[in-house]
Each structure stands twice: as structure tokens, then as C-alpha cells.
Chains A and B, each alone.
Chain A
Amino acid sequence: NAGVTQTPKFQVLKTGQSMTLQCAQDMNHEYMSWYRQDPGMGLRLIHYSVGAGITDQGEVPNGYNVSRSTTEDFPLRLLSAAPSQTSVYFCASSLSRVNYGYTFGSGTRLTVV
């Protein structure tokens, strides 16, 4: 099993550009989430999905879109990049079971100039 795979690992965007961060998991996990991590602020939930076709907003959804057409994939779209979106983005997946936590991908470091 590859676990949670995120691509790309690094990305530089110009203000106003759009892009998609890819996330795929091969563990048949029903739950998937996107977090952003900024210094001193921990991980903040952007969007999450409880299964294929079902998504919902987290704490900081503005400027981002998601879709979940399959169980495996959960892409995050930046509609019009802004410098405030410079961050490290983590995708994570889980099953809703006791003693089962989220498995995180290795992250995408995004810089918007």
C-alpha cells in the first residue's frame, strides 16, 4: 500500500493563477480531509469528505474547491491563488473506527508570489 499520495511536493504560483493539488489513497478509507499548516497555527481544516460524492466545508474553505468522484481521489482546487494561500497543504484519510486515526500524506509546499 502506498498510503496517501500527494502531488506535487512543491509548487510556486503567481497571484491569480489556478491549480489543483492531487491526493490519492489506496486504503479504501471513507473519510478524506484537506488541511493547511501555517507557523504557530497548527493544522486548519479546509474541506472534508465523508464518502464519494459527499463533501463539506471546514474552518477555512474560502478560495478552495473540492470534489470526491471516487473513494480514492480527493483533489483540492485553488481558484485564483493569493499570497495568503502560501502554506503547506496536507491531505489525510481515515476510517471512522475506534483506535483509528488519520493517515497523512507527505504534504505540498505552496508558495504564491
Chain B
Amino acid sequence: GQQVMQIPQYQHVQEGEDFTTYCNSSTTLSNIQWYKQRPGGHPVFLIQLVKSGEVKKQKRLTFQFGEAKKNSSLHITATQTTDVGTYFCAGRGTTDSWGKFQFGAGTQVVVTP
């Protein structure tokens, strides 16, 4: 079955630095979503990617969907303390309904001032 893997599991970042987290699927995806979960909170939707090679930006966050639609990345520039949390990707297989998104294990981001 489909597996969605995220690396790294943990990311310690100095405030002001950039970092990237990666999401890889064992099968081709129809679309991929990214979520952020603050400590003690619930996941909050950030963005959805649908097209091969798609790149979307939200202020300091850049999301990319691979050409083969099997991987994705989230790049954060000039990290701030407000970026603390766990970032999840969630992928939907090409034969799966909209209800069947599979989440990766997440990248937990810790920011050092």
C-alpha cells in the first residue's frame, strides 16, 4: 500500500536560518497537502499542491511538488520562533477518494533564538 515518509523527523534551527523538510511517497499522488501543528494544538491546513512541478509560496514558506508527483518539499527561509511546531504532509493516491489522505510522521521543528 501507499506509504508517505517525511524527513527529517526532527529539525533544530537557529532563528534566521533556512531549512527544508521533505515528503516522499511510495506511489504517485493525485495531490498533496501540508499542515502545521503547534505544540498541544491541532493540525492546521497550510496549502495543497496538485500539478506536477508546482511551486507555491506563502510569505517565507515555499512548497514544491515533484515532477513525478511522488515527492514534495517545504522550505522555510529566515526561520522565526513562530515557526515552531510539527509540519505534516498528507498525500492522496491516484485511485483514492478525497477522504483517504495518508499523513507522514511529521517534522518537528525547534527554533533556537
Interface residues of A (CB under 8 A from B): 31-33, 35, 40-45, 48-50, 56, 58-59, 90, 92, 94, 96, 98-107
21 residue pairs A–B, Cβ–Cβ below 8 Å: A32-B99, A35-B103, A40-B9, A41-B105, A42-B6, A42-B106, A43-B43, A43-B103, A45-B101, A45-B103, A48-B100, A50-B98, A50-B99, A92-B43, A100-B48, A101-B35, A101-B45, A102-B45, A103-B45, A104-B42, A106-B41
* In contact, A98 and B99 (Cβ under 8 angstroms): no
* In contact, A107 and B35 (Cβ under 8 angstroms): no
* In contact, A98 and B43 (Cβ under 8 angstroms): no
Closest CB of chain B to A76's CB: distance in Å?
14
* In contact, B99 and A48 (Cβ under 8 angstroms): yes
* In contact, B100 and A45 (Cβ under 8 angstroms): yes
- Determine the chain A residues whose CB is within 8 A of the CB of B33 once the complex forms: 101-102
The residue that B88 contacts in the complex, of A43, A94, A96, with Cβ under 8 A, is A43
Complex CA–CA separation, A106 to B46 (angstroms): 17
Interface residues of B (CB under 8 A from A): 6, 9, 33, 35, 41-48, 50, 88, 90, 97-106
Which residue of A has the minimal Cβ distance to B4? A42
Which residue of B has the minimal Cβ distance to A106? B42
User: 5 smallest A-B Cβ distances: which pairs?
Assistant: A101-B45, A48-B99, A96-B98, A42-B105, A43-B103
Apart from A99-B47, A106-B42, what 6 extra A-B contacts exist at CB < 8 Å? Answer: A43-B88, A44-B103, A48-B99, A50-B98, A96-B98, A102-B35
Q: Taking A40-B9, A40-B105, A42-B106 as contacts, is the C-beta distance between A90 and B43 under 8 angstroms?
A: yes
Which residue of B has the minimal Cβ distance to A105? B42
Closest CB of chain A to B38's CB: distance in Å?
12
Closest CB of chain B to A4's CB: distance in Å?
9
Which residue of B has the minimal Cβ distance to A43? B103
Which residue of A has the minimal Cβ distance to B45? A101
